[in-house]
Amino acid sequence: MLLVTGGAGFIGSNIVAALNDAGRADVVVCDELGHEGKWRNLAKRQLADIVPPRKLPDWLNGRRLEAIVHMGAISETTATDGDLVIEVNFRLSLRLLDWCTATATPFIYASSAATYGDGAQGFADDQTLPALKALRPMNLYGWSKHLFDMALAERAGRGEKLPPQWAGLKFFNVFGPNEYHKGTMMSVLARRFDDVKAGRVVELFKSHHDGIADGEQRRDFIYVDDAVRVVMWLLSAPSVSGIFNVGTGKARSFRDLMLAAYAALGSFPNIRYVDMPPSIRDSYQYFTQGDVGRLQHAGYNGGFTALEEAVGQYVKGYLDRADRYR
């Protein structure tokens, strides 16, 4: 039996789908389904149980699991409730780490590229404590993830007991099916697709940095299928532990992303550039690009889907259909 926390969420539900597709019906999801239609992310899946987060400690008591895949978190980069974010993203992760250590259960968890802050220290996934301490996340979400990375790295550096496998995944800009409940945290592609389809103008942010053109802010966009393949590989490679970047290793612009959507539909681009809200200008990342060398050196050879191909798969397979769910 495997537990996927955040299993009704975006990446989590895609992991559940991959496990089902691999013949696993013994998957337990821990999540809050709420009222935003998150249940639809699991509507085509077979599950052994769904556990509310508040009941997870009792559910885990005395239980044996094959692995915990910990994707559950408050993932809004604009979150401001520090106490809640630390409780959910940091302290719960520590409790799960302790449980996995005590029960010798593999533990795979979601970190984030938000831990890199403005990228001034680069995007190399050096898991040593001095390298991690040099990073300066720019928002509460990134800081909460960074705290846990450092806590785990410190234990590893001291040679303390840890789960037989532990892996933190610094996800870059993941996009794909089942992200629709995320509101403003959806990818720009998902948020703007109906406008693209209808021929309405699509607004992208102007640049407020010299030398960077409007719409040329760049991100390491990675299709969710690629991110999930990394998780599935780790589950099949129990000797691999560490903190790894999960991106494509190639930054592309928001303009590239939207032009790929227009191309997938065979329609003419209609893009307008608007001022970035002052409230986010000081914390806005203009460039992210994950160095995936450590992941590949660890044995991962699954490759990554090119942006245009990934957008085409997403648009034709999901966004441009009546049923957009995996």
Contact 27, 20 (CB under 8 A): yes
The closest alpha carbon to 221, from 256, 263, 194, belongs to 256
Contact 48, 28 (CB under 8 A): yes
Q: Which residues does 310 contact at the CB level (< 8 Å), separation at least 6?
A: 175, 176, 221, 222, 223, 225, 226
The whole-angstrom separation of Cα 224 and Cα 232 is 12
The closest alpha carbon to 42, from 54, 52, 29, belongs to 29
The whole-angstrom separation of Cα 131 and Cα 147 is 13
Selecting among 182, 197, 206, 250, the annotated active-site residue is 182
Q: Which residues does 5 contact at the CB level (< 8 Å), separation at least 6?
A: 12, 29, 30, 31, 53, 56, 68, 69, 70, 71, 72, 96
Q: DSSP 3-state helix, strand, coil percentages of the chain (rounded to 5)?
A: 40, 15, 40
The whole-angstrom separation of Cα 266 and Cα 158 is 56
The whole-angstrom separation of Cα 147 and Cα 145 is 5
Selecting among 141, 223, 300, 318, the annotated active-site residue is 141
The whole-angstrom separation of Cα 261 and Cα 257 is 7
Q: Is 141 a catalytic residue?
A: yes
Q: Which active-site residues does the annotation give?
A: 141, 182
